[in-house]
C-alpha cells in the first residue's frame, strides 16, 4: 500500500504557480525595501549637503565681516595711531625731571637753612631785647642819680660828702649792670649830629664846636645791644 501511495504522489502534478507568485512577491517587496532604503539614505546626504553649503556660506560671511572689521580697525589705527616714544625722548624727559627734582631739593635745602638762620636770629634777638622794657624803666633812676650827684658837688658838709660817695658807688654798680646787659650810653661829646641817635632840642650859637655838631647834652641817651633804647636830647651848633 505504501508503495502505491508513493507512486500516486509521484504521478500527481505539482502546482508551481503559487510558489512562483510567492517568490515574485517577495522579490518585489525586497526591491521596494531596497529603494526605500536608498531614498532614506539619500535624504540625509542631501540634508548634510545643504548644511555644509549653509556652513560654507556662513563661514564666507564671517570671513567677509572679519575682513571688514580688520579693514575698519586698520583705518582707525591709521587715523589715531600714536607711535611709542623713542629711547632718546624718554632719556631726555627723565633727565629734565631729575633736574627739576634736584632744583626743588636745592630750594628746599636753601629754605630750611634760611629758616634755621632766621630762627636763631629771632631767638637771639628775643634774648637780647627781653629786658628792653625793664631797662627803659631804669633809665629815669640813672638820670636822677646824675642830678643828685650834680647837686652835691658844691656842698662842703661831711654828711653830704658821705652821702655823695655812697650814691656814686650805687651809680657805678648800676652802670656795671647796664654794661653787663648791653645797655650803653650814646656819645655826644664832639660828635656830629646823628638823627638816628640824637634828638635835637635847640640850636646854639657857639664857636666851640663845628656847625652841625652836638654842642650840649641835656639828657643822656642809651642803646640796648646796638638798638636805640632812648635818644640823647642835645643842642646842636648852628651852621
pLDDT band of residue 102 (cuts 50, 70, 90) is very high
Are 209 and 192 a contacting pair, CB within 8 Å? no
For residue 185, being part of any structural domain is answered with yes
β-pair type (232-237, 198-204): parallel
Domain count, the chain: 2
Instruction: Locate the DSSP E strands across 82-180.
Output: none
Q: What number is the average pLDDT over the span 113-135? A: 90
Statement to judge: residues 203 and 108 lie in one domain: no
Q: For residue 226, what is the domain's CATH number?
A: 2.30.22.10
Statement to judge: residues 204 and 222 lie in one domain: yes
Cell, residue 190: 664832639
Helix H or strand E segment including 229: strand 227-230
Residue 183 has pLDDT above 90, yes or no: yes
Statement to judge: residues 150 and 121 lie in one domain: no
Other C-beta atoms lying within 10 Å of the C-beta of residue 65:
10
Q: pLDDT value at position 86? A: 87
pLDDT band of residue 115 (cuts 50, 70, 90) is very high
Statement to judge: residues 190 and 223 lie in one domain: yes
Q: pLDDT value at position 26? A: 56
For residue 71, being part of any structural domain is answered with no
Classify residue 186 as left (phi > 0), alpha (psi -120 to 50) or beta: beta
- In the DSSP assignment, the letter for residue 196 is T
For residue 22, being part of any structural domain is answered with no
Statement to judge: residues 121 and 200 lie in one domain: no
Domain that holds residue 113: 97-128
Average pLDDT, the chain: 76
Q: What number is the average pLDDT over the span 167-190? A: 92
129-172: pLDDT as tens digits:
888 889 999 999 999 999 988 888 777 788 888 888 899 999 99
Amino acid at each position: 500500500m505504501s508503495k502505491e501511495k508513493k507512486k500516486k504522489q509521484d504521478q500527481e502534478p505539482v502546482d508551481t504557480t503559487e510558489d512562483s507568485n510567492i517568490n515574485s512577491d517577495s522579490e518585489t517587496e525586497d526591491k521596494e525595501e531596497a529603494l526605500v532604503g536608498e531614498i532614506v539614505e539619500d535624504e540625509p546626504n542631501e540634508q548634510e549637503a545643504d548644511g555644509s553649503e549653509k556652513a560654507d556660506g556662513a563661514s564666507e560671511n564671517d570671513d567677509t565681516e572679519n575682513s571688514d572689521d580688520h579693514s575698519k580697525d586698520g583705518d582707525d589705527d591709521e587715523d589715531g595711531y600714536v607711535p611709542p616714544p623713542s629711547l632718546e625722548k624718554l632719556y631726555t624727559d627723565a633727565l629734565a625731571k631729575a633736574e627739576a627734582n634736584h632744583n626743588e631739593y636745592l630750594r628746599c635745602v636753601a629754605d630750611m637753612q634760611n629758616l634755621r638762620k632766621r630762627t636763631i636770629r629771632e631767638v637771639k634777638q628775643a634774648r637780647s631785647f627781653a629786658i628792653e622794657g625793664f631797662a627803659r624803666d631804669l633809665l629815669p633812676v640813672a638820670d636822677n642819680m646824675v642830678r643828685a650827684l650834680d647837686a652835691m658837688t658844691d656842698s662842703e658838709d661831711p654828711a653830704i660828702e658821705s652821702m655823695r660817695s655812697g650814691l656814686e658807688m650805687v651809680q657805678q654798680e648800676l652802670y656795671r649792670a647796664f654794661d653787663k646787659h648791653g645797655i650803653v650810653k650814646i656819645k655826644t661829646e664832639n660828635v656830629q649830629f646823628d638823627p638816628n641817635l640824637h634828638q635835637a632840642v635847640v640850636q646854639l650859637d657857639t664857636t666851640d664846636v663845628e656847625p652841625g655838631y652836638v654842642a650840649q647834652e641835656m639828657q643822656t641817651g642809651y642803646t640796648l645791644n646796638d638798638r636805640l633804647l632812648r635818644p640823647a636830647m642835645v643842642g646842636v651848633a648852628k651852621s
